[in-house]
Structure 1
Amino acid sequence: MPSEKTLPGLDQAAWEELVTRFDGRMWAVARACGLGPADAADAVQGAWLRMVESLDGIRDPERIGAWLITTTRHEAVRLARRSRGERPAADALPEVLVPDPAASVVDAEFGRRLWLRLDGLAEPCRSLLRLYALNPDAKYAQISMRLGLPMGSIGPTRSRCMSRLRALIEEER
């Protein structure tokens, strides 16, 4: 994670809040493009790097989430093409992915509600589901060590936690 000195105009607390709010979604976008763990990590890291490089030019901070998601998608598509051996024609314009504005609003609102519901869960559900969302390829041994849960209880606990989260979401409807 870059230090405060690396991010002019963005303090450490603001940086950490951005990472907390958007890193999991960025990973989900990269994985949805069919990337493996290493390439997904490169796509997410590339998007964060582009944000840092563009920090002085950000005019609408409220749109940073949409910008990060779109940039992650661009990075992921580029990496997916490279791994398939595709090369863009020299005279071709880069593909511009234009998200549907209505879908973006609905997705963003659903994401906010989902994270709020997740934060309302008791432990270990909150930590376990957050860990899975932010690290989809985490192994049971890693989760066991991180959360102090027996390896044999992780699957059943995750299932119960997901049921609780689904129930909270359904209550909202």
Structure 2
Amino acid sequence: MRDWDNTELLAHAVRGDVGAWNEVVRRYVRLVWAVPRSHRLSPDDAADVCQATWLALAENLSRIRRPERLGAWLVTTARRETLTVLRLRGREVPLEPWEAPDDGPTPEDAALARDTRLWRAYATLTDRCREILRLAAFAPELSFTQVAEAVGVPVNSLGPTRGRCLTVLRRRLGAEVAR
């Protein structure tokens, strides 16, 4: 396999020959790794770029038109992945570790309070609204027809009825928050 050219390796790799794939990786892994590292990506980001590059090759294995130019294809793909990482990382702003203020509620307490307000508002809804919203939230695999039959409303009125129920819930939740 080591004496095969890229055309032979890719042809075998397309047919699922793991040895051929491993040989391609062996030949080009240093080249692919060098691209993100030359852009001074961290080792973790460089590893992500390499993984994305090899995934792109695996997904496009049968579409490589010029196997003799495989190295150039891999470099171009790795460069594009690197630039994507750089563009996305440039948007990130590292922050100091968050510390909860001593005087306010913790995020967990805020979430629990919001959850409590939601359930209090939900409890004020009509039985039909509670049933429609319960089925929508906890049985999303049910079709509109199945939900309509379970609740006892015509299929064509289920959507508008659910919409009205959500509007009432939002309004009552807003009233709960204002308390």
- With the length of structure 2 as denominator, give the TM-score of the two structures: 0.42
- Bigger relative contact order (CA 8 A; separation at least 6): 1
Higher Cα Rg, which structure: 2
